Chains A and B, each alone.
Chain A
Amino acid sequence: KAGVTQTPRYLIKTRGQQVTLSCSPISGHRSVSWYQQTPGQGLQFLFEYFSETQRNKGNFPGRFSGRQFSNSRSEMNVSTLELGDSALYLCASSGGRQLGEKLFFGSGTQLSVL
């Protein structure tokens, strides 16, 4: 069974641009969560999608948005990039139906904003 796939692996953008990151969950998983990882703030929850609906949301500005498609693949978009958006963005997938279930993480997309 293929794991969680995130593309691209690395990305370099400049301030003011926008970026879209992609996450393909494990086959059969319907929940996709997104996390931002930085040296200063650590791992922070962005949002979670289940069956194409945003089910949980973290405390990030509206520049951060996401969506989920009918095949459970998810995209995350960041508009008007700022230097502080430089981070490793991780997505995780799960079945989405049990509170204590295991999350499977991808290797992440490393975003650098210049």
Chain B
Amino acid sequence: AQSVTQPDIHITVSEGASLELRCNYSYGATPYLFWYVQSPGQGLQLLLKYFSGDTLVQGIKGFEAEFKRSQSSFNLRKPSVHWSDAAEYFCAVGLQGAQKLVFGQGTRLTINP
């Protein structure tokens, strides 16, 4: 069955430090992959997506992600985090493109001043 694993439930980084959030997926075909962010009391906002082409994708708010087929991974990175990046981050696989998403359990990001 298709699944998404985010190994880190909670990560704390200092403001200005680099960030990498891990995501591994299990899916038979070429996946549609997404990263979403959720701030407290809010819905989800798309950060970036991948389904073909260049394996390094750029998103909003300075985030990027790299698709590695050999490792079944789609890790999210940011070179320097800001206090406003504190939120929960979800990796997702699209089973019918974007129309049916399987989400990982999420990684809660805390930023130390």
Which residues of A in the span 14-42 have a Cβ within 8 Å of any Cβ on B?
31, 33, 35, 42
**CB-defined contacts of A33 to chain B, threshold 8 Å:** 99-101
**CB-defined contacts of B95 to chain A, threshold 8 Å:** 56
Count of A-B contacts with CB under 8 A? 71
Q: Is B42 an interface residue (CB 8 A)?
A: yes
Q: Classify the interface of chain A: helix, strand, loop or mixed.
A: strand
Residues in A lying within 8 Å of B, measured CB to CB? 4, 31, 33, 35, 42-45, 48, 50, 55-56, 58, 90, 92, 94, 96, 98-103, 105-108
Chain B interface extent, by class: 20 to 34
**CB-defined contacts of A43 to chain B, threshold 8 Å:** 90, 92, 101, 103, 106
Which residues of B in the span 85-113 have a Cβ within 8 Å of any Cβ on A?
90, 92, 94-106
Is the pair B103, A100 in contact by a Cβ cutoff of 8 Å?
A: no
Is the pair A102, B43 in contact by a Cβ cutoff of 8 Å?
A: no
Residue of B nearest to A43 (CB): B103
**Which listed segment binds A: B14-22, B44-52, B76-84?**
B44-52
Is the pair A102, B32 in contact by a Cβ cutoff of 8 Å?
A: no
Given the known inter-chain contacts A42-B104, A43-B90, A99-B51, please indicate yes or no for A107 contacting B97, CB distance below 8 A: no
Q: Is B41 an interface residue (CB 8 A)?
A: yes
Residues in B lying within 8 Å of A, measured CB to CB? 32, 36, 41-46, 49, 51, 90, 92, 94-106
* 5 pairs, CB–CB < 8 Å, chain A vs chain B: A42-B104, A90-B43, A99-B94, A100-B51, A106-B43
**Separation in Å of the B65 CB from the closest CB of chain A?**
14
**Separation in Å of the B20 CB from the closest CB of chain A?**
21
**Separation in Å of the B109 CB from the closest CB of chain A?**
16
**CB-defined contacts of A108 to chain B, threshold 8 Å:** 43
Given the known inter-chain contacts A99-B98, A100-B49, please indicate yes or no for A42 contacting B44, CB distance below 8 A: no
